[in-house]
Amino acid sequence: MTKMKKIILFAVSLFFLQYTVAQNDTSMHFSLLWEMPATGTIISLDPLGYSYVSNGTTLTKYDRQGMTAYTYSDLQYGNFNSIDSRNPMKILVFSKDFTRITLLNMQLSGINSAYNNLINSNIVLPLCVCTAYDNGLWIYDENTDKIMRYDNMNKLCNETMILNHITNEKYIPQQIQESDHGLLIASDSTYGFLIFNHLGTFIKSIPQTGVTDFCIYNNKLVYIQDNMLQITDIQTLWTQSVTLPCSDIVKVRIQTNRMLCVHKNDTISMYAWE
């Protein structure tokens, strides 16, 4: 075997060794911080370590020790469908049935915003929303089949192309999130993830199907599948499978050194991780 062939063989072997490590590394260690009964399955975890849990009608904010800090409820606009606390000073609450977006401050009091009338005036069939950069928001409208970014003055700034033109399938996002690196991620459990840049330009797809809920941490997709915590690097697509601290965890949100969990038995918990 020539010297060049040996070098090539070594490089190929090193690649597959790195790939295997990335796939099977279970080096994350978890320590339970607190646990409590709760019926809510809509959750969010802000960068300051505060937790948000909702059963659809009431939103509760918990401090870092798991103590109730504030609550919010507004039955006139129906059930809450999602909570986005990426900006803890402007918490985004979306009520799909009444096509209502509400912004809350750190005490869960309402903030007057142009978004309050955004959907009624411009959007016909909103299905999911998330916080965007520069105090804006992204919103998917099934009527136009686009994800659009509005600024804080209710002005349309960017939009994706028609999603079905990207996938050639009936792609309907169940969830959208923006990463701290300026990437917009859409998820459809049937067809996987679509990745866009901060202008809404399509970058690539990740055909990871069966994902019904995800979050983003450090430019990585985090989700539960096959009873394991899956962490997929958006750039390289390498996936790390991590054993969960409990087998009954069905949903997680991750921030620096903390993981908020929803359990099957109407329980929420917070773990420290490293």
CB 261 within 8 A of CB 246: yes
For residue 155 the two structure tokens come to: 């002005």
Q: Which residues contact 174 (CB under 8 A, 6 or more apart)?
A: 127, 128, 187, 188, 189, 212
Strands ordered across the beta sheet of 68-73: 42-45, 51-54, 58-62, 68-73
Q: CA distances (Å), 173 to each of 62, 80, 95, 146, in order?
A: 29, 17, 16, 10
CB 123 within 8 A of CB 153: no
Predicted confidence (pLDDT) per residue in 216-237, tens digit: 999 999 999 999 999 999 999 9
For residue 71 the two structure tokens come to: 């609550």
- Tell me the Ramachandran region of residue 248: left when phi exceeds 0, alpha when psi lies from -120 to 50, beta otherwise: alpha
Amino acid present at 167: T
- Cα–Cα distance for residue pair 18/179, rounded to 1 Å: 25
Domains and CATH numbers, the chain: 28-273 (2.120.10.30)
Predicted confidence (pLDDT) per residue in 60-117, tens digit: 999 999 999 999 998 887 899 999 999 999 999 999 888 888 999 999 999 987 666 6
pLDDT of amino acid 76: 83
- Lowest-confidence pick of 3-7, 188-192, 194-198, 243-247: 3-7
- Cα–Cα distance for residue pair 246/76, rounded to 1 Å: 37
Cα atoms found within 13 Å of the Cα of residue 212, Cβ hemisphere only: 6
pLDDT of amino acid 56: 93
- Cα–Cα distance for residue pair 155/134, rounded to 1 Å: 12
Predicted confidence (pLDDT) per residue in 137-185, tens digit: 999 999 999 999 998 888 899 999 999 999 999 999 999 999 999 999 9
pTM of the model: 0.87
Q: Which residues contact 232 (CB under 8 A, 6 or more apart)?
A: 206, 208, 220, 221, 223, 238, 239, 240
CB 86 within 8 A of CB 48: no
Of 204, 207, 156, 155, residue with least CA distance to 184: 204
